[in-house]
Amino acid sequence: MARRQREKRLDPPERVTVTLGEMAYEGGAVAHENGRTMFIDYGLPGETVLAELQRERAGVFFGRVVEVLTEDRDRITPKCGYFGECGGCQWQHIAYPRQLQLKGEIVRQQLRRIGGFDDPPVSSTVGAKDPWGYRNHIRFTAKARGDIGFVRRGTHRFLRVDECKIADPWINSALPVLQGHGSGLHQVAIRRGVNTGEVMVQPDVSHIDPSLPAPVKFYHEELLGYRFRISGASFFQTNTPQAERLISLVRDRLDPQPHETLADAYAGVGTFAVILAPFVKRVIAIEESAAAVVDALINVAETPNIEYHKGKVEDVLPSIPEGIDCLILDPPRMGAHPRAIEAVIATHPERIAYVSCDPATLARDIRLLVKGGYELQDVTPVDMFPQTYHIECVASLRTH
DSSP secondary structure, 254-274, as one string: H---TT-EEEEES-TTTHHHH
Q: What is the pLDDT of residue 6?
A: 80
Tell whether the model's pLDDT for residue 217 goes beyond 60. Answer: yes
Question: Mean of the pLDDT values across residues 243-272?
Answer: 98
Residue 87: inside a domain: no
Check pLDDT > 90 for residue 114.
Answer: yes
Query: Are 248 and 190 members of one domain?
Result: no
Same domain, 215 and 317: no
Which pLDDT score is estimated for 2?
42
Give pLDDT tens digits for 300-312: 999 999 999 999 9
* CB half-sphere exposure, 357, CA atoms < 13 A: 13
Checking if the pLDDT of 206 tops 50, the result is yes
Residues marked as catalytic: 357
Residue-wise pLDDT tens digits, 4-53: 568 899 999 999 999 999 999 887 999 999 899 999 999 999 999 999 99
Average the pLDDT over 116-135 and give the result: 98
Residue 151 lies in a domain: yes
**Residue 4 has what pLDDT?**
54
Question: Using 50, 70 and 90 to split pLDDT, how confident is the model at 72?
Answer: very high
pLDDT band at 154 (very low <50, low <70, confident <90, very high): confident
CATH number of domain containing 15: 2.40.50.140
- 56 with 121, same domain: the answer is no
Q: What is the pTM of this model?
A: 0.95
pLDDT value, residue 5: 65
Pick from 261, 329, 268: which is nearest to 299 by CA?
Answer: 268
pLDDT of residue 176: 95
- Average pLDDT value for residue range 238-247: 98
Structural domain count, the chain: 3
Task: Check whether residue 271 and residue 250 sit in a common domain.
Answer: yes
> What's the Rg (C-alpha) of the chain?
22
**Which of the two residues, 156 and 323, has the higher pLDDT score?**
323
Residue ranges making up the domain that contains 141:
137-231
Distance, in Å, from the CA atom of 284 to the CA atom of 28, rounded to the nearest integer, reads: 40
Q: What is the mean pLDDT of residues 63-82?
A: 97
- Give every CB contact of residue 299 below 8 A, 6+ residues apart in sequence: 227, 228, 229, 269, 270, 274
Asked, for residue 318, whether it belongs to a domain, the answer is: yes
Instruction: Measure the CA–CA gap between 179 and 183, rounded to whole angstroms.
Output: 10
Q: What is the CATH number of the domain that holds 373?
A: 3.40.50.150
Please tell me whether residues 201 and 265 are part of one structural domain: no
